[in-house]
Structure 1
Amino acid sequence: ARNRSAAARIPMYTEQPHAKRIEFRPPDTAANPYLAFSAMLMAGLDGIKNKIDPGDPVDRNTYELSAEEAANIPTVPSSLGEALEALEQDHQYLLEGDVFTQDVIDVWIDYKRTAEIDPIRLRPHPWEFHLYFDV
């Protein structure tokens, strides 16, 4: 099966070695590509250096799995808030080789919370108006 729902995959469309590639799909299209690709490379190098087991491949579309099956598959954070919490908990690998500094990471997390998460959290969502307008 061609699992296009995977965060990281090696498509097996061809047997030609020069046509093979690695895909990593999660970055947001609004992400700063310099920061995003630097962080992804650092995470990959950390995985190689520390021999982190990526787990077994999932050769099925994860959107078609039952709730029980899906519960056994690791996922990436589902919101910016969850991503920032994960970054706070695990970012030591980003400091290797002075690619990022602790100050950059701290300022980035604070900025994302105050400039993006809080303004949305502090205002009603349009769906709330729909749900409660005529109550």
Structure 2
Amino acid sequence: MHRLYENDDIVVFWNSDKCFHAKRCVHGSPGCFDPSRKPWIDLNRAETKQIWQAISECPSGALSCLYRHEIDVVIDVENCRSIAFDGDKEIGECNYRVSEEGWNIYHTGVQDDYTGKGIAKRLVYKVIEEAERNHAQIAATCSYAAKVIRE
């Protein structure tokens, strides 16, 4: 299971398949990480610096984070894509097809001025989350999305 958590400053990625529950995150930032709460990650309960430090000590690599750079990423189920916006300007997208076998991500792209900021990863995670919510299998013919799914 892949999850994405965001606040005004940062984006946190969690891959439950990699997590072996060392609980270093919980000890590093108990306000943010609380396994008894749903969702168990609440980025508004701790300062960014404390969250970032706790994530940096994750031994499994199940948690990672990056700065938002004031970019919003939304899902557009009707058009089978996730979209990244800088204000009103569309700067990237991740497209997928729905079939009986599941969802296939076939394209992920971000405008050149915005590369290197983790936006493509956020786009892919947004599609993965939506597929999981719909109990759909997820696959990728897009090489970047396939790499993210393997992580």
TM-score by structure 2 length?
Answer: 0.18
More strand per residue: 2
Q: Relative CO higher for 1 or 2, CA cutoff 8 Å, sep ≥ 6?
A: 1
Larger radius of gyration: 1
